[in-house]
Amino acid sequence: MQKNIKIKVALAGNPNSGKSTIFNSLTGSNQHVGNYPGITVEKKEGSKSYKGYDINFVDLPGMYSLSAFSDDEAVARDFLIKEKPDIVIDTIDTTNLERNLYLFTQLTELSVPIIMVLNMVDILRSQGKVINKKAMSDLLGVPVITTVASRKIGIDDILDSIVSLFENKKLKNQIRAKVDFGDVIKEQTDKLEDLISKNPTLSIFPERWLAIEFLDNGLSILELISETNNESEILTQLKKSKEHIKEHFGEKADKEIVDRRYGFAKSIVKTVVKKTGQDKVDITGIIDSFVLNKYLGIPIFILVMYVIFKFTTFADPMANLFGLLFKWIGGVVVSLLPICPVRSLIVDGIIGGVGGVLGFFPMMLFMFFAIAFFEDSGYMARAAFVMDKVMSRFGLHGKSFLPLMLSTNGCAVTGILSTRTLDSKRDRLITMFIAPFMICGAKLTVFTLIIDTFFHAKYKTDIMVVMYFLSIAIALGIAKLLSSTVLKGDAAYFVIELPPYHIPTIKGLLLKMWERGTLYVRKAGTTIVFASILIWVIFAYPKAPINENLSKNEQVALQAQYSFAGRAGKILEPFFKPIGMDGNRAVALIAGFAAKEVIVSTLGTIYAIEDGSGENLPLKEKIANDKDWSALKGITFLIFCLIYIPCVVSVIVFFKETGSSYKWLALLVIGSTASAWIVSFIVFQIGTLLKY
pLDDT score, position 533: 75
**Cα(408)–Cα(432) distance, integer angstroms:** 13
pLDDT in tens, 637-650: 999 999 998 877 77
pLDDT of residue 635: 92
Q: pLDDT for 455-492, tens place per residue?
A: 877 787 888 888 888 888 888 889 889 888 888 876 55
Establish if 516 belongs to a structural domain: no
**pLDDT digits over 239-277, tens only?**
899 898 888 888 888 888 888 888 889 989 999 998 876
Query: Do 569 and 462 share a structural domain?
Result: no
Q: Is 516 exposed, middle or buried (0-12, 13-18, 19+ CB in 10 A)?
A: buried
pLDDT digits (tens, 9 = 90+) for 523-532: 556 666 776 6
pLDDT band, very low/low/confident/very high, at 40 (cuts 50, 70, 90): very low
541 and 460 assigned to the same domain = no
Residues 331 and 458 in one domain: yes
pLDDT band at 1; cut points 50, 70, 90: very low
Q: Are 330 and 347 in contact (CB under 8 A)?
A: yes
Q: Does residue 280 belong to any structural domain of this protein?
A: no
Residues 6+ apart with CB under 8 A from 410: 440, 441, 516, 519
Q: Is the pLDDT of residue 107 over 80?
A: yes
> pLDDT tier at 514 (50, 70, 90 boundaries)?
confident
CA pair distance 159, 161, nearest whole angstrom: 5
Residue 577 belongs to a domain: yes
CA proximity to 312, closest of 425, 220, 441 = 441
Q: Which residues contact 301 (CB under 8 A, 6 or more apart)?
A: 383, 386, 387
Residues 482, 562 within the same domain: no
- pLDDT at site 219: 54
Last residue of a domain, one of 472, 506, 540: 506
More confident position, 663 or 285: 663
The answer to whether residues 389 and 473 belong to one domain is yes
Residue pair 446/602 in contact by the 8 Å Cβ criterion: no
CATH number at residue 270: 1.10.287.1770
Residue 500 predicted with pLDDT over 90: no
Please count the CA atoms within 13 angstroms of the CA of 41 that sit on its side-chain side. Answer: 20
End-to-end CA distance of the chain: 75
pLDDT band at 116 (very low <50, low <70, confident <90, very high): very high
Length of the chain (residues): 692
The Cα angle at residue 401 between residues 399 and 402, in degrees rounded to 5: 75
**237 and 354: one domain?**
no
Is 566 buried (19+), middle (13-18) or exposed (0-12) by CB count in 10 A? buried
Q: How many domains does the chain have?
A: 4
- Phi, psi for residue 484 in degrees, rounded to 5: -95, -10
Cβ neighbours, 10 Å, residue 217? 15
Banded model confidence at residue 611, pLDDT cuts 50, 70, 90: low
Instruction: Give the model's pLDDT for residue 126.
Output: 82
List, in sequence order, every beta strand (DSSP E) within 420-530: none
Query: Residue 670 has what pLDDT?
Result: 92
Q: Do residues 461 and 490 share a domain?
A: yes
Within this chain, do residues 431 and 334 fall inside the same structural domain, yes or no?
yes
Rounded CA separation 113/111 (Å):
7
One domain for residues 554 and 601: yes
Q: How far apart are CA 194 and CA 192, in angstroms?
A: 5
Give residue-wise pLDDT tens across range 417-450: 667 667 677 888 898 898 888 888 778 888 988 9
| Final residue before a domain boundary, out of 275, 290, 316 | 275
**Residue 641 neighbours by CB under 8 Å, 6+ apart:** 443, 446, 447, 589, 592, 596, 599
Identify the pLDDT of residue 559.
Answer: 67
Q: Roughly what angle, to the nearest 10 degrees, separates helices 631-643 and 460-484?
A: 40
Answer whether residue 676 is part of any domain.
Answer: yes
Task: For residue 38, name the pLDDT band (cuts at 50, 70, 90).
Answer: very low
Residue 191 lies in a domain: yes
Question: What pTM does this model have?
Answer: 0.61
Task: Report residue 495's pLDDT band, with 50, 70 and 90 as the boundaries.
Answer: low
pLDDT at 356 over 70: no
Are the CB atoms for 501 and 437 separated by under 8 Å? no
Q: Is the pLDDT at 157 greater than 90, yes or no?
A: yes
Q: Which residues contact 660 (CB under 8 A, 6 or more apart)?
A: none
* pLDDT on residue 101: 92
Q: What is the pLDDT of residue 493?
A: 53
CB 43 within 8 A of CB 33: yes
Residue 205, CA distances (Å) to 39, 112, 224, 380 in order = 21, 12, 11, 37
Angle among Cα 252, 257, 263 to the nearest 5 degrees reads 125
Do 498 and 561 fall within a single domain? Answer: no
* Sequence-ordered list of residues with C-beta below 8 angstroms from that of 408, at least 6 positions apart, any chain: 438, 439, 440, 468
Task: Give the C-alpha separation, 90 to 108, whole Å.
Answer: 11
Residue-range definition of the domain harbouring residue 604: 525-689
Smallest Cα–Cα separation from 467: which of 482, 483, 447, 452? 447
**Within a domain: 590:** yes
Among the candidates 171, 194, 223, a domain finishes at: 171
In a domain, residue 517? The reply is no
Do residues 355 and 426 both lie within one domain?
yes
Q: Are residues 378 and 412 in the same domain?
A: yes
**pLDDT attached to residue 37:** 45
- Tens of pLDDT along 563-608? 787 788 788 888 999 999 988 888 888 877 767 877 887 787 777 7
d(CA 682, CA 654): 29
| Rounded Cα distance, 562 and 538, in Å | 10
User: CA torsion, points 262, 268, 271, 275, in degrees to nearest 10?
Assistant: -80
Q: What is the mean pLDDT of residues 293-316?
A: 84
Tell me the β-bridge partners of 10. 58, 88
Under the banding of pLDDT at 50, 70 and 90, the label for residue 57 is very high
* Residue 545 belongs to some domain of the structure: yes
- Residues β-bridged to residue 468: none
**Average pLDDT value for the chain:** 80
Which amino acid is residue 45, in one-letter code? E
Is pLDDT above 60 for 676?
Answer: yes
Of the ranges 102-106, 146-150, 388-392, which is most confident?
A: 102-106
Residue 50: CB partners within 8 Å, gap ≥ 6? 159, 162, 163
pLDDT digits (tens, 9 = 90+) for 308-341: 878 877 887 887 787 778 778 878 887 888 877 7
DSSP strands (E only) in 541-612: none
For residue 514, the number of C-alpha atoms closer than 13 Å in the C-beta half-sphere is 12
Largest CA distance in the chain: 101
CATH number at residue 82: 3.40.50.300
pLDDT tens-digit map of 398-407:
777 767 876 7
